[in-house]
């Protein structure tokens, strides 16, 4: 099964994707994570995208489609979760073609609906485990022991430079201009499903499971 998790920054896409990886043997393809890896590994592409990401703008379609294309070369039995991709109509069309080329298809697009007003608190409280990538929040999802990852025991917690209110506003602007048209696009294709992203993490999990089953 191949699915897209669609929603603005802070909607909970990464949190739900990680759960699906654990529960259903799916593979998470987060273009945001891939781009951040490219930055820290100092590749040419990483240098090119750094300023764009820091400004909260979208990286070019060509770069992100290239990243996804590489990952889709190998097939995977459990299927893929596209997290933060596609973000433009051109990316959506490219995804359709890339999947078709491997004889695969998209099974569902899950829109995570949230109020914009909730997003500032979501992203400004976000931190992640630098070793396993588990996503935490200062208020809604703290590790059991302060500063220690529940999943892997690491104390290497990280915050993203772009998780501040100013950058969020810019990212939200990009979302409304370029990404939100995908909601209508997938609705028209009959593939759109929605969940209430403001519900508790476990309840969102259950709503997504109900769609996938």
**What are the residue numbers of the active site?**
13, 87, 126, 160, 171
Residue 204 touching ligand ADP (CB under 6 A): yes
Per CB under 5 A, the segment of 47-55, 71-79, 134-142, 164-172 that binds Zn ion is 134-142
Can you tell me the distance from the alpha carbon of 172 to that of 170, in angstroms, rounded to the nearest whole number? 5
Question: 174-193 mask for ligand ADP (x: CB under 6 A)?
Answer: --------------------
Numbers of helices and strands, H then E, in the chain: 9, 8
Buried b (16+ CB within 10 A) or exposed e, 58-80: bbebebbbebbeebbeeeeeebb
Query: Which of the listed partners (ligand ADP, Zn ion, none) does 136 bind, with a CB threshold of 5 to 8 Å by partner kind?
Result: ligand ADP
Residue 72 touching ligand ADP (CB under 6 A): no
List the end-to-end C-alpha distance of the chain, in Å, as a whole number: 11
Backbone angles phi, psi at 157, to 5 degrees: -90, 145
Query: Which of the listed partners (ligand ADP, Zn ion, none) does 98 bind, with a CB threshold of 5 to 8 Å by partner kind?
Result: none
The strand pairing partners of 112, in sequence order, are 195
Residue 142 touching ligand ADP (CB under 6 A): no
Query: Which of the listed partners (ligand ADP, Zn ion, none) does 180 bind, with a CB threshold of 5 to 8 Å by partner kind?
Result: none
Q: Looking at residues 92 to 121 of the shown chain, list those that interact with ligand ADP (rule: CB under 6 A).
A: none
Query: Which residue is closest to ligand ADP by CB?
Result: 32
């Amino acid at each position: 099964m191949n699915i897209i998790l669609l929603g603005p920054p802070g909607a909970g896409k990464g949190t739900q994707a990680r759960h699906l990886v654990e529960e259903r043997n799916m593979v998470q393809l987060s273009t945001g994570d891939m781009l951040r890896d490219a930055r820290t590994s100092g590749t040419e592409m990483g240098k090119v995208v750094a300023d764009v990401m820091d400004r909260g703008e979208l990286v070019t379609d060509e770069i992100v489609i290239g990243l996804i294309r590489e990952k889709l070369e190998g097939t995977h039995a459990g299927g893929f979760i596209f997290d933060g991709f596609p973000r433009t109509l051109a990316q959506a069309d490219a995804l359709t073609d890339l999947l078709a080329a491997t004889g695969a298809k998209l099974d569902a697009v899950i829109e995570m609906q949230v109020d914009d007003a909730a997003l500032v608190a979501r992203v400004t409280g976000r931190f992640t485990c630098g070793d396993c990538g588990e996503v935490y929040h200062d208020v809604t999802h703290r590790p059991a022991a302060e500063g220690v990852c529940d999943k892997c025991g690491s104390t290497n917690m990280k915050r993203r430079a772009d998780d501040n209110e100013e950058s969020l506003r810019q990212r939200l602007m990009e979302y409304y201009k370029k990404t939100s048209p995908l909601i209508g696009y997938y609705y028209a294709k009959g593939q759109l499903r929605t969940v209430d992203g403001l519900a508790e993490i476990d309840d969102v999990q259950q709503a997504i499971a109900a769609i996938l089953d």
